[in-house]
Amino acid sequence: MKRWLIIAFITLLPSVALCNTADTIENNPIFYERESGDIIRFFYDDHYYLVDKDCEFRAIERVGQYDFQRQVFIGDFADFDNHGRLILEGSYVDGRKHGDFKAYHPNGQLKWQVSYIQGIPQGALNFYYPDGKPLLEITYTGEGARILNFWDRRGRQRVTNGDGRYEFAVIADGYNEFGYTRYIRKGKVVDGHPHGNWTIKYLFGDGKEKRAGYEYYSRGRFVQGYEAYTGEEFSDTPRYDLLPADFSIRADAMVTKGCTIDDYTGFTRFLAAYLSEWFEGTLDGPTNPVEIAFTLTVKSTGQPRAIHMKSSFPTKRHANLLLEALNGVGYWLPSYADGGYIEDTLTVTMEAFPDVRYQKTRFYEVTIKREKGI
């Protein structure tokens, strides 16, 4: 069994340059290959990040034409899963989505359909359940998207002509420290827009649900939100999507990732963001990039211990602050070997440097090497 079948997370990784020759996945990954004529075959994971053609996380192949000088898709394309089944088709004109785009469930049933004009969705976006029954109808107007109609899994229409009750489980996009794989949005729809208190529940891989907080809207305008796990209140922008996830929009960005469990799950990106947030307001440190390296032991259950710094910030204050932050990470992905999780030693490297423009210390290029497992 592939280890990714056991880990129920998805990834968000920083962009790196494309490469079209390779010796190994680690050094020279192959993200695309040229077919006959002008046809290119691109290799993506299940969330449309480019991965090496031989990476075990490869899940999607896009066949179409690409203008490398302008860095845009051109003409018709088709996406297929590892079983050769069509999962998405559409076309580009002048580098913009144009015409009908159709996505399909693994059984061949239409999953969603929308029409674009010069890169902008027009009219209705319709979602369907795998049995072909309607799920959701969104309409696009000059004011944005509106929820028009919604049916639950039992076929009962819950939102009609923009009014009613909405409840849907959205796939979590990226690693999160709480461990949920989906989150459930539930609330009232008025004239096509969320209104009032919308609850959020985390849904875990074992089927358990936990209250996660709420977001409050006034006829579509976000007012405030609350995170139950952290006790944090926020009012800048919503943090949770309302609609089914569509990861295919990433295909145009050509964002790549490495072929490791830490990259695939998004743990490396999470760690970089966590440390950057921890160091917010500490720009009085080094003015040049600093290479960080350390080892730690991670138990088979994911609990860390024995962090040993090999290189850190030159100042004691910032070195202590970094160690304090690392000790606050309560879970690391355990190594996998011989059919099970094992205790292992991890070597972690990264780079930190001050972002003068935003008055922050940022962390980049996080890599994790495992001594025994994968």
pLDDT in tens, 75-84: 999 999 999 9
- The pTM score is 0.85
For residues 11 and 18, give the distance between their C-alpha atoms in angstroms, rounded to a whole number.
18
Annotate 52-90 with DSSP letters as a single string. Answer: -TT-TT--EEEEEEEETTTTEEEEEEEEEETTS-EEEEE
| pLDDT (0 to 100) of residue 37 | 87
Residue 88, both tokens: 């998405």
Phi, psi of 332 (to 5 degrees): -125, 150
177: pLDDT confidence band, cut at 50, 70 and 90?
Answer: confident
Strands 120-128 and 340-342: unpaired
Q: Provide the 8-state DSSP code for 242.
A: S
Identify the CATH number of the domain defined by range 266-370: 3.30.1150
| Mean pLDDT across 329-334 | 94
> pLDDT tens for residues 11-36?
333 333 333 333 345 568 999 999 98
| pLDDT (0 to 100) of residue 25 | 53
> pLDDT tens for residues 116-129?
999 999 999 999 99
> pLDDT tens for residues 46-90?
999 999 999 999 999 999 999 999 999 999 999 999 999 999 999
For residues 111 and 280, give the distance between their C-alpha atoms in angstroms, rounded to a whole number.
42
For residues 295 and 347, give the distance between their C-alpha atoms in angstroms, rounded to a whole number.
4
For residues 61 and 86, give the distance between their C-alpha atoms in angstroms, rounded to a whole number.
10
**137, β-bridge pairs:** 126, 149
